[in-house]
Chains A and B, each alone.
Chain A
Amino acid sequence: MSTKRFNPDVEVAEWTGRQRPYDILKEGTIALIVVSLLVVTLAVLFGSPDDAPVTIRQWSNADPIDFATTAFTELAGASATATYGAPYNHVPATGQSILGVSLENLVGVHIPINTANDFVLIPLAAQTDDRRLTAALSAWRGATPTVQAAWIADYAAHEPTTVARGHLIMRAHHAGPVPVLIASLTQMAQSGALDQALLTNNQRYYSVNYTEPLLFLANGNYFSTLAGNKHLAGNQWGMMNETGNYPGQAWLWLYTFWYQIKPFSTSASGDFMVWALMMLASVIMVLVPFIPGVRSIPRRIKIYRLIWRDHYRHAGR
């Protein structure tokens, strides 16, 4: 006769002992009242944060040099978005990977973005009343990649560093149409037209997709500087914080924690590593009942004796 050994971490002798009165509806009602009072009190005392979103208009007026520098990297194909790879574009040797496996490259490009076209040339093409700009756009589009590269190189060597009455002082003299394109895009941004143009790029009249304006915004320094001032940078536990002195997404503390330490904070595949780790942790958490060792910890550390202290006190008599 086989006798299966009782496993205290899996099995339990069902309770046949004493019962006590329990009014489940009364308990639920009291809980709802208590939580409601607590939430109303917290809302009255602390409210909720609501810092206004940053616009490209705001950025380009507050820091036109940073905007123009970023706009140039978009045109030159050198910005963070232009060199990102999947899911935005095909860029060799990109994509975070673990043991040579890159899931984002396996899935491929599903949100295609060409920063020169989508962030610079297409929005500018809508400015049809500017003959100088129209000529610059024609010159750019008619040039060979070699000529474009020469213009880019000259502009990169002489990027504007000063502004006079809101206008960039261009220093590049052999950059073909590039100075006109960047100056025009900066003026367009300062007027607020670029915010709307990026939102409706490649879309119909309505849009709720902010992918392009947000990527453009994130490629500059202005946005991240503002976030750093609001203690939201990645190395400031930014993913779980929110503006002001609010608890934010405190439940993301473990996810955010990994970003503060090596190798996650320095690896080019840090995001993928953190996600892999958190997926593993999540699976372990969900499957605790089936994992020997992990499921034994509660029985061994005996915190349950504190929870059921009345029960054990009675049992000990």
Chain B
Amino acid sequence: MSTTAIDRQWTTRVRKRIAGTFPPEKVLPDTQPAYVASWIYVFGVLTLAALALVIATGVALAIMGPTWWHVSGVGHFLNSLHLWSVEVFFFAMVVHLWGKYFMAAWRGGRALTWITGGVTFLTSIATAFTGYLSQTNFDSQWIATQAKDGINATGAGAFFNVLNLGQMLMWHITLLPLAAAALTALHVILVRKRGVVPPFADEPREGGK
């Protein structure tokens, strides 16, 4: 096979495209711009770490089924880990989001990075909401009966029935986590591709010379 024929292969083209867009120093950087020096930057990686724990504890809970945690001490502790990892996840994500807003982190062709982050936040809210509906306890009963009116009012209640435990559980453990994880991956890829937004150009202070 000639070199030209190899170059025309889909696999070769995709590999070259990936290698060009994501050289190793971008994927696993060992330096970063000097301005990246604030605690606010920590909240992005804290969000990712909390997400990893959310997924790990959720998978562990899934092994024995949705009602096991009510009758098992180990299960209840796993549920507590799942709950608190979700709380930490949202706390870190909200701080991260506000931090990125105050940095106007969409500048310099980074709008899609912002958008994927925003949509991930909304998807995470839906994922957590279906989790609350899947607890099979008083909270899930009450939240379901309260939430139905809002969702019904949008017309979505006809297809997304918050009173249907089976449907909510499946959304919680498959569809929404897959969407949130995929969006997170895309968000991180875009961050690695575009880099961290630089500061605003310094402006002369009022009264300065």
Given A19-B32, A208-B165, A209-B164, the answer on whether A104 and B102 have CB atoms closer than 8 Å is no
Given A35-B49, A35-B53, A303-B102, the answer on whether A210 and B138 have CB atoms closer than 8 Å is no
A96 and B198 within 8 A (CB)? no
Bound-state CA distance A20–B29 (Å) is: 11
Bound-state CA distance A217–B142 (Å) is: 10
Given A32-B53, A103-B153, A209-B164, 15 more contacts at CB 8 Å?
A13-B198, A14-B195, A18-B34, A35-B85, A52-B138, A53-B136, A217-B141, A234-B146, A243-B139, A251-B90, A271-B153, A289-B106, A301-B102, A304-B200, A307-B99
Q: What residues on A are CB-neighbors of B181 within 8 Å?
A: none
Minimum CB distance partner of B122 in chain A: A282
Closest 4 interchain pairs by CB?
A208-B166, A103-B155, A289-B106, A110-B158
Q: What residues on B are CB-neighbors of A299 within 8 Å?
A: 104, 200
B47 smallest CB distance to A (angstroms):
9
Bound-state CA distance A28–B48 (Å) is: 8
Bound-state CA distance A34–B129 (Å) is: 26
Minimum CB distance partner of B139 in chain A: A242
Given A51-B138, A108-B158, the answer on whether A38 and B119 have CB atoms closer than 8 Å is no
Could you list 28 examples of A-B contacts with CB < 8 Å?
A17-B33, A19-B34, A20-B33, A24-B28, A28-B48, A28-B49, A31-B45, A35-B85, A36-B49, A39-B50, A43-B80, A43-B83, A48-B83, A53-B141, A54-B138, A86-B152, A107-B155, A110-B158, A209-B166, A223-B141, A242-B132, A250-B87, A286-B114, A289-B114, A290-B111, A298-B102, A307-B38, A310-B37
B54 smallest CB distance to A (angstroms):
9
A125 within 8 A of B: no
B136 smallest CB distance to A (angstroms):
7
A239 within 8 A of B: yes
A48 and B103 within 8 A (CB)? no
Binds B, one of A3-11, A139-147, A159-167: A3-11
Q: What residues on B are CB-neighbors of A39 within 8 Å?
A: 50, 53, 81, 84-85, 88
Bound-state CA distance A35–B85 (Å) is: 8
Of residues 198 to 228 in A, which have CB atoms within 8 Å of B's CB atoms? 208-211, 214-215, 217-218, 223, 226-227
A251 and B125 within 8 A (CB)? yes
A53 and B125 within 8 A (CB)? no
Q: Of the candidates A20, A239, A247, A286, which one forms a contact with B31 in the assembled complex, judged by CB atoms under 8 Å apart?
A: A20
Q: What residues on A are CB-neighbors of B17 within 8 Å?
A: none
B108 and A12 within 8 A (CB)? yes
Given A15-B33, A104-B152, the answer on whether A36 and B53 have CB atoms closer than 8 Å is yes
A93 within 8 A of B: no
A247 and B87 within 8 A (CB)? yes
B159 within 8 A of A: yes
Bound-state CA distance A312–B203 (Å) is: 10
Given A22-B30, A238-B146, A250-B90, the answer on whether A310 and B53 have CB atoms closer than 8 Å is no
B49 and A31 within 8 A (CB)? yes
A135 within 8 A of B: no
Bound-state CA distance A289–B159 (Å) is: 32
Given A211-B161, A239-B147, A307-B40, the answer on whether A104 and B33 have CB atoms closer than 8 Å is no
Q: Of the candidates B52, B146, B199, which one forms a contact with A304 in the assembled complex, judged by CB atoms under 8 Å apart?
A: B199
B119 and A42 within 8 A (CB)? no
Bound-state CA distance A306–B93 (Å) is: 20
A79 smallest CB distance to B (angstroms):
13
B90 and A214 within 8 A (CB)? no
Minimum CB distance partner of A284 in chain B: B118
A21 and B31 within 8 A (CB)? yes
A214 smallest CB distance to B (angstroms):
5
B149 within 8 A of A: yes
Q: What residues on B are CB-neighbors of A301 within 8 Å?
A: 102
Q: Of the candidates A8, A104, A285, which one forms a contact with B200 in the assembled complex, judged by CB atoms under 8 Å apart?
A: A8
Of residues 43 to 100 in B, which have CB atoms within 8 Å of A's CB atoms? 45-46, 48-50, 52-53, 69-70, 76-77, 79-85, 87-88, 90, 92, 94, 99
Bound-state CA distance A227–B115 (Å) is: 37
Of residues 22 to 61 in A, which have CB atoms within 8 Å of B's CB atoms? 22-25, 27-28, 31-32, 34-36, 38-40, 42-44, 46-54
| Chain A 287-317 interface 0/1 with B at a Cβ cutoff of 8 Å (1 = within) | 1111000010011010110011111101110
Bound-state CA distance A17–B34 (Å) is: 8
Q: What residues on A are CB-neighbors of B136 within 8 Å?
A: 53
Interface centre among B37, B40, B122, B139 (most CB of A within 10 A): B139
A99 within 8 A of B: no
B102 and A307 within 8 A (CB)? yes
B114 and A249 within 8 A (CB)? no
